[in-house]
Amino acid sequence: MVNQSKRNTFDTSCLSASNLRILLAIATSKSFSGASDKLNLTQSAISRSMCRLEENIGHSIFTSKNHPVQLSPIGRMLCKQAESLLDELDEIYSEVKIQTQDANNCLRLASSTSLTQTTIPYVVEALYQGTSSIAAYNGNTPKVCQMLLEGKVDISLASDPMSTYKSIMALPLYKERYLAVLPKCYSGIIRSKLDLIRLSKTLPCLQFNDTSYDVVHTSRVLRQWGIQNTLMLGTWTTLKMIEKGLAWALMPVLNILPAKDFVHSIYFLYASEQQGMRTAYVLYKNPAYEQLAKKIAGLVVETLKTKILPQVKNPLLVDSVKLFDVSDN
């Protein structure tokens, strides 16, 4: 129970950025353990922070601390205010950092793996002309988006527009289809969604072994089709198994393009609109990076248009990538 007598000795230091981030992490994950994993803090440290916060404000933040955690009205108000306050603090921090950097500043850029393996080398080369130092990172979409949220990078390229975050700006780059990728021996034999469903009874369907957007999307499509026998593997292992006739998969085009050795030895099929499309974005948080984000968007689209897609000989792969007119950004 919170000591109500401390209301008149309110210590504003309890509303530190770290405490507010802990509160938001608990609210998002609906558990103290989830917040612990997300923030890389011990559960005891998180519990102590919340106890001190409750003691200082003189009100309970939670009506239940058991999973799923439930916030009190005061807790919900704090979360709402904390989100906008932390966004403002992050913007201030980023702006100060930009203003205090010299002309030879370091750009921190994160991109999803498919972009890292296709367009990013050309983008980095072009950016070096105006920036003497670039720190480039890569990972799946959740990872590079989280890096942007936490201020670890200045710009991210990923397949999530992060539309739930008002502070994030997103510039669309291109749309790409998810294609059915099959052993070459099924060329001309497997032609429709029903063919794929029947095939899955004898040939397993593979998915990526991470928490990427692709897993969420393909899992939903396969469930709609009633396909259950899926295995989780990495991209290169998946393509190798498909090449050997041991499996098939749903994959976005840019995940396939870097695997040039496999393109001619496997069969691609767009059998149904339900396979869906994936959109890639340039993401930034601080308005000071707007012009640079637009420049990067132009470089990515131009690289795909003039360097990557012209090298692809498979018409279906080329037609499955739709570039946005980034001059409108």
Q: Where are the domains of the chain?
A: 4-86, 96-172+280-328, 175-277
Residue 26 phi, psi (nearest 5)? -65, -45
Angle, helices 17-29/73-100, rounded to nearest 10 degrees:
130
**pLDDT for the residue 234:** 72
Cβ count within 10 A of residue 68: 9
Q: What global pTM score does this model have?
A: 0.67
Classify 135 as helix, strand or coil.
Answer: strand
Angle, helices 120-127/290-303, rounded to nearest 10 degrees:
130
On whether the 175-277 domain is CATH 3.40.640.10, my answer is no
Contact 215, 222 (CB under 8 A): no
**pLDDT for the residue 8:** 47
**pLDDT for the residue 194:** 95
Classify 268 as helix, strand or coil.
Answer: strand
Tokens 């210590």 map to which residue?
A: 11
**pLDDT for the residue 2:** 47
Instruction: Give, for 160, the enclosing helix (H) or strand (E).
Output: none
On whether the 96-172+280-328 domain is CATH 3.40.190.10, my answer is yes
CATH number of 4-86: 1.10.10.10
**pLDDT for the residue 7:** 44
**pLDDT for the residue 5:** 44
Rounded to whole angstroms, what are the CA distances from 55 to 32, 77, 162, 203, 276?
A: 18, 17, 35, 60, 51
Is 96-172+280-328 in the same CATH topology as 4-86?
no
pLDDT tens string for the chain (329 positions)? 444 444 445 566 667 888 888 988 898 888 898 888 888 788 888 888 899 888 888 888 898 888 888 899 998 998 888 888 887 787 777 666 655 554 346 789 999 988 988 999 999 888 877 656 888 898 888 889 999 998 899 999 999 999 888 889 999 999 999 999 999 999 999 999 999 999 999 999 988 765 567 788 888 899 899 987 677 777 778 888 999 999 999 999 998 888 777 778 899 999 999 999 999 999 999 888 999 999 999 999 999 999 999 998 899 999 999 999 988 66
Say how far apart CA 53 and CA 148 lie, in whole Å: 27
**pLDDT for the residue 1:** 47
In the chain, alpha helices (H): 17-29, 32-39, 43-57, 73-100, 113-116, 120-127, 141-149, 193-199, 213-224, 235-243, 253-256, 260-263, 290-303, 315-319
CA atoms within 13 A on the CB side of 22: 24
